[in-house]
Amino acid sequence: MTVHPSNAEPGDADLLRRYRAGDAAAFTQLYERHRLGLFRFLMGLCGDQAVAEEVFQETWMSLIRSESVQREAAVLFKTWLYQIARNRLIDHWRKQGKRLQREEVFDEQLHDQAIDEPDPERQLSLSQDQARIQAALADLPAEQREVFLLRAHGDLELHEIAELTRTPAETVKSRLRYALQKMRRLLSAAEEVAP
């Protein structure tokens, strides 16, 4: 007999089942648990805050409208959620007829808790670091950037990324390795150039 502690966090699949049974608070928990990583993933892929916000909302609406129970049991909720987001972004790009260029830098403070009265020097340093990271991400090939973002912001395992992208696990592993190598190289070069 397995005993579960009473204070254990409910799993995503359990929260989704509860939401579908009418528990709105369960959806709030799901949303709070995954919103930042999902938004960062979308921002990293498209680089346009307005598009990321639109696709982010479409992703959650698709989840709400979905009545698939079998799908919930077949894969992890997080993998399914990121697959929905990825598909919505691809749909958006198809409607536009082209892949959008990176124009805006993601302002993390808009989507995270604000720091009370931040130190200006620290803020400048963080802003410069963020700009270097965004530039390095933009230089990655699309396939490597996607795998990197799914791992970094989605916190997905390699086999989950392989399933989500419909790519062999070894290819995912290679893309992540190359992305990490290139990010290190680009960030090191940017650090040497920075004042």
pLDDT at position 127: 59
CATH code, domain with 178: 1.10.10.10
* pLDDT at residue 168 is higher than 90: yes
110 inside domain = no
**Range 127-152 average pLDDT:** 82
Reduced to 3 states, what is the DSSP secondary structure of residue 100?
coil
pLDDT in tens, 33-53: 999 999 999 988 888 889 999
Counting the structural domains of the chain, the total is: 2
Type of residue at 166: R
DSSP 116: S
93 inside domain = yes
Residues 90 and 47 in one domain: yes
pLDDT at position 28: 92
DSSP 69: S
pLDDT at position 98: 56
pLDDT at position 110: 38
Band (58; pLDDT cuts 50, 70, 90): very high
Range of the domain at 157: 120-190
Listed in sequence order, the residues at least 6 apart from 75 whose beta carbon sits closer than 8 Å to its beta carbon are: 83, 160, 163
Q: Is 72 exposed, middle or buried (0-12, 13-18, 19+ CB in 10 A)?
A: middle
* pLDDT at residue 92 is higher than 60: yes
Write down the pTM of the prediction: 0.63
109 inside domain = no
